[in-house]
Structure 1
Amino acid sequence: MKANTWTKLISTAAAVSLIAGCGGGATETPAAEGGSGSGGSAGSPVKIKFHAFGSESQQAWSKVISSFEAKYPNIKVELVNLSEKGDTQEYAKKLDLAAASGEEMDVMMFSEAGMYAQRVALGMVAPIDEFIAKEGFKVGEEYKVDTTLNGKVYALPGKFNPWYVLLNKDHLKEAGLEVPKDWTWDQFMDYAKKLTKGEGASKRYGTYFHGPQGGGWLEFTRLALANQPDNSDYLKADGTTNLDNPLFKKSIEMRYQMEKVDKSSVPYTDMISQKLHYRPQFFNQSASMIVIGSWMNSEIGGTEQFPLNFNVAVAPFPKNSASDQGGYSMVTTDFMAVAAKSKHKQEAYQFIRYFTTDGTIAQGKYVPSWNKVKTEDLNQIIDTIVGGTKSPDKVDKESLKTVLAGSKASKLVPPTSFQADVYKAINEEYEKLILDKQNLDAMLKNAQERTQKLIDSNKK
């Protein structure tokens, strides 16, 4: 797809947006010396625009930008915040419209792989291989997430947010259960049953799943797939479907069993009709466990909106069998990219390189994807993050540190430009199943056929 297809970009903005979900110990960053642009030279400052999302309290933008400008005094960063509340769907729509109208932009961030891939396909993003080559590193070695797409690199990964399980430690104690250090999905299901209590409107569920919904939060339909080092997504690296993988079937069976048979998970109809959200479900103690991404680190001890009135612990993402290698899960990151039409690509690259290394540490909100963060630095980062919550004393920090230290990213399957359509198809077929409009075999067959049609129609 060519860079000037802006009409199609606007028409696909809504579809694309559906797939969005959603310091201390810093060492010297190689990026500080990388490149030969005007970032550190004398003369008038170069001004770059950074299109982003999230409030100051969520993202600490002032810390990132001020620490960068202190290191690069000849580069000034203007934050263009397209969603103060951190709504990535709103951000995606506004970003596409800004690009289509020719608005000046230098740096942009994408909240997940599908959003990143589609904008690359539409020509919004510049490859940065030449800058990386000057520094002499490989993305897959330098970072925990490899952002290579079709043989080129268009972004660097920011925060490293593996998924884990948040646990109400008080509920565990009440049920006579330990905080799991290594467990399987079967054990997770057993915990959910034992933690479920009561009936009717006051019923407390063992767990709550926040998706799929509206073509987003599709992670909740591939839970058993996700704990694999390879082929953990709906499509394989060669572009063929992975929906015939037995672990996809297991993922769907597990969800159905927990809701319909065990009645240990919040019903899908409640989630949709009542517009439920995982934060109040967990912090209001309506559900004892939630599977979620570790972006929750900065909220784990409670916030003004959702105070923590119980003790919380963290368990690793469950495995399929005890013999499986642990640590693998879905991993989310921010894809930090240089705009294709930027007039200051060198300076924009310097900013994203800084942001994805020392900048994330200065931000003090997230664990970086940068592999050069040492264990002692990681512990300090976590202490800083949890210390910024309302009730850090109620958090089992050792369980959190252990889980994060052992987390690994599955091999990234290069997302396709029609990712949103695949998500939509799977979401619709899952919804028919969970609403008892079709059985499991029909759901799997229809999802497979619809995905295959999308693959075939998008072949070049």
Structure 2
Amino acid sequence: MRKLVSKKGLWTGMASLVLVMGALAGCSGGNNGSSGAGDAGAQPSSPSSSVGSGAPAASGNPVKLKMWGGVPPESGPQAVVDNWNKEHPDIQVEYVRFVNDDEGNLKLDTAMMTGQDVDLFVNYTISQTAKRVEAGLALDLSAFADYNIGEKMGSDAESWTIDGKYYGVPTTKSPFFVALNKEALEAAHLPIPTDWTWDDLREYAKKLKTGDGYGFIQHTEPYVDPIDSVLSQEGYTKSDGTSNLDHPLVRKWLETLNAMMHEDGSTPPLGEQLTSKMPVEQEFLSGKVPMLNIGAWLLRSSNNFTDFPRDFTVAFAPVPRLADSASDYVTRGGLGDYISINAKSKNQAAAWEFLKWYADGGMAPMAAGGRLPASKDADQASALENLLGDKSDTYDQASLTYVMFDNKTPTYVRSLAQEVMDARSQEYEKYFLGTQSLDDTIAAMASRHNDYLKQNQ
């Protein structure tokens, strides 16, 4: 299997599930009415032994499926299942929401391990998928020969394979971009960029900054995207097997962001952002900050004029690159919302019918929450209509179309082990907070990565 998570991390996660399972068994004294589906020794039912083509059982009752996902029902999922249920009375789907955090993902894993009703579920990272495959929770979809995932979703789908197999279908495009206050750019005589560097963005931020305000803002989560855009291609390790976290462009990125915080005053210092729990989307949509580094989920808020009233046009630009040359640049994005079928589900064939329909366009209402269908057979015009709703005239649609559909920059999906991501964030945060020098920060990141590599050889 692709080594996406350490063995130690995997078995720690599985041990947590075992403890939870034991606690649940002690409380319930039964199997939650699952008829043995939660038995650790039970073999997953094959598609051929499920419901066949998805037709209702002989009793004439409809097949009932439960799909677990992290998106609030009102942001698209409920409309999706309502549409399906209206068209398919023989297979009825219920959507169950779990919060996409550590606690929520543990809740989902526990439900599957204990035989509760989960037929389909959404993975949001490769590392989550890998753990679930190891635990026997995700069905190998190669048993189904009537849908070519790679052909439907394009070459980016391959990044979701494990040992060359699909254990789910990546259903959404996940574009990241810089959202712009178009009127603020026009007042500063700045064009909407279609290809730019972080040095360019730094200059934009300085020119767009007014008074004590900022010119650029972002959540802390994408801080490292520029680093990963480089190392996902050049390697997180060097040819000698040691850490590449001391790459020259890693230094350049840390210096650039730190200078924007502390020299230019054009982006919030990390300390201020953490202590104030700064609502970055609100800062942008209120007009206080004219540039925001974010992903397509911004549209969920920018379409909401009740909670986020605004009086400006939102324009869009690609995420900048670190290197001067664009030829080797990749950007974060690719495909997401990797939907798997529970290997223990008794209704796998019916679940497969729903999943194909969902991926090929049934998911269109999800665009209202910023999720665009990845399948080449989905109706992109319909998705764009759902994406913008009745607020289309408040967006610069030329730049939106470019970043959503026309930008051909290759993408990467972050696959670095969580232990390494945690270690490097702990070190660069010290630098941004002013408690550690740049040299010591880079040395510490590389050293801790090397320790990880030695422990997981």
Report the TM-score, using the length of structure 1 for normalisation.
0.80
Q: Is the 1:311–1:396 contact (alpha carbons within 8 Å) kept by the matching residues of 2?
A: yes
Alignment match, 1:355? 358
- Say if 2:147 is the partner of 1:145: no
Q: Is the 1:127–1:154 contact (alpha carbons within 8 Å) kept by the matching residues of 2?
A: yes
2:320 is aligned, of 278, 299, 318, to 318
The CA deviation at 1:167 is 0.5
Q: Is the 2:112–2:342 contact (alpha carbons within 8 Å) kept by the matching residues of 1?
A: no
Q: Is the 2:249–2:323 contact (alpha carbons within 8 Å) kept by the matching residues of 1?
A: no
Alignment match, 1:160? 173
1:247 is aligned, of 235, 246, 249, to 249
Alignment match, 2:375? 370
Secondary structure of the equivalent of 1:204?
coil
1:52 is aligned, of 69, 85, 95, to 69
Measure the CA separation in 2 of the matches of 1:114 and 1:369.
Answer: 21
Alignment match, 2:27? none
Q: Is the 1:88–1:111 contact (alpha carbons within 8 Å) kept by the matching residues of 2?
A: no
Measure the CA separation in 2 of the matches of 1:414 and 1:317.
Answer: 15
The CA deviation at 1:304 is 2.1
Change (3 A) 1:11 1:288: farther
Secondary structure of the equivalent of 1:166?
strand
Q: Is the 1:126–1:340 contact (alpha carbons within 8 Å) kept by the matching residues of 2?
A: yes
Change (3 A) 1:3 1:425: closer
Alignment match, 1:346? 349
Alignment match, 1:37? 52
The CA deviation at 1:329 is 1.8
Alignment match, 2:286? 284
Change (3 A) 1:247 1:56: same
Change (3 A) 1:394 1:185: same
Change (3 A) 1:307 1:404: same
Measure the CA separation in 1 of the matches of 2:19 and 2:408.
Answer: 36
Secondary structure of the equivalent of 2:268?
coil
The CA deviation at 1:263 is 1.7
Q: Is the 1:145–1:369 contact (alpha carbons within 8 Å) kept by the matching residues of 2?
A: no
Q: Is the 1:160–1:368 contact (alpha carbons within 8 Å) kept by the matching residues of 2?
A: yes
Change (3 A) 1:281 1:4: closer
Once the two structures are superposed, what CA deviation does each residue of 1:406-446 show, in whole Å capped at 9, x if it has no partner? 33574656836xx2212211110111111112112221221
In the alignment of these two chains, the number of paired residues is: 413
The CA deviation at 1:387 is 2.1
Measure the CA separation in 2 of the matches of 1:421 and 1:321.
Answer: 27
2:96 is aligned, of 61, 80, 103, to 80
Gaps of 5+ in 2: 1-6, 21-49
Change (3 A) 1:101 1:36: closer
Secondary structure of the equivalent of 2:454?
helix
Measure the CA separation in 1 of the matches of 2:165 and 2:242.
Answer: 21
Q: Where do 1:290-309 residues align within 5 Å?
A: 290-309=292-311
Secondary structure of the equivalent of 1:231?
helix
Alignment match, 2:215? 206
Alignment match, 1:127? 140
Change (3 A) 1:420 1:108: same
Change (3 A) 1:305 1:197: same
The CA deviation at 1:62 is 2.7
Q: Is the 1:356–1:368 contact (alpha carbons within 8 Å) kept by the matching residues of 2?
A: yes
Change (3 A) 1:327 1:171: farther
- Say if 2:229 is the partner of 1:221: no
Measure the CA separation in 2 of the matches of 1:137 and 1:242.
Answer: 36
Secondary structure of the equivalent of 1:310?
coil
Once the two structures are superposed, what CA deviation does each residue of 1:108-164 show, in whole Å capped at 9, x if it has no partner? 112233333333333332221222xx1252526634433112322111112212110
Once the two structures are superposed, what CA deviation does each residue of 1:387-412 show, in whole Å capped at 9, x if it has no partner? 24xx4322111210112123357465
Q: What is the root-mean-square deviation of aligned Cα atoms in Å?
A: 3.3
Change (3 A) 1:309 1:90: farther
Change (3 A) 1:253 1:116: farther
- Say if 2:68 is the partner of 1:68: no
Q: Is the 1:226–1:232 contact (alpha carbons within 8 Å) kept by the matching residues of 2?
A: no
Alignment match, 1:214? none
Gaps of 5+ in 1: 13-34, 212-216
Larger of the two Rg values belongs to structure: 2
Q: Is the 1:224–1:250 contact (alpha carbons within 8 Å) kept by the matching residues of 2?
A: no
Report the TM-score, using the length of structure 2 for normalisation.
0.80
Q: Is the 1:159–1:333 contact (alpha carbons within 8 Å) kept by the matching residues of 2?
A: yes
Measure the CA separation in 2 of the matches of 1:438 and 1:275.
Answer: 23
Secondary structure of the equivalent of 1:205?
coil
Alignment match, 1:425? 423
Secondary structure of the equivalent of 2:377?
coil
The residue type equivalent to 1:403 in the other structure is V
